[in-house]
Amino acid sequence: MMKGLSIILPLTLASMLLTGCAIFPEPNSAEQPPVVVLAPQPPSEVEQWLLTRQRLCNLPAVEQRAQLLARVSADVSREGKIERVLLASCQPDQTPGLLREALSSLDPKAEWSPGMRALLAMINDHARSYRILEDKNLQLASQLETTIKGIREIETDMNSLQGNGTAP
């Protein structure tokens, strides 16, 4: 009896292991939803303008500046004005006045898509932020000049006191 049990037990264990590792057929494909492949969408208006900006910003700095200056009065179409804004936004630290001028040339009453309105608002916010930084830099430069002037006056007073033989 013990010998029969010792043979049955390993066979039972082996059959359980094989059953647990058995490969089951794939579920019925009718139960799975079909895979929908969407056709690529054409780029949106904003994507097209961002790609245009990237192309313009990849130009050498000298070429960017030349094109920007050439466009100041050359193209008055809506697209030309937008390209001018995008070109001026490439190096706002070099062309802050031109960027503000280009933004102000856009018609505020024009019909813009929501995406274009958001893009132009972002560029406008960036230009305004840069203008605030410019103003702060001017204030700091003025304060620095006042401080330097004060130090020079103190030095002059000290030199005149030393020249008279009087100790400061």
The rounded Cα 161 to chain-centroid distance in angstroms is: 58
Confidence of residue 144 (pLDDT cuts 50, 70, 90): very high
The answer to whether 68 and 44 have CB atoms below 8 angstroms apart is no
Rounded to a whole number of angstroms, the distance between the first and last alpha carbons of the chain is 120
Measured torsion, CA atoms of residues 130, 132, 137, 139, in degrees rounded to the nearest 10: 170
The answer to whether 65 and 95 have CB atoms below 8 angstroms apart is yes
Give the 3-state secondary structure of residue 35: coil
- The pLDDT score that the predictor gives to residue 39 is 67
Confidence of residue 151 (pLDDT cuts 50, 70, 90): very high
Write out pLDDT tens, residues 57-111. Answer: 999 989 988 888 888 777 678 888 899 999 999 988 887 888 998 898 888 778 8
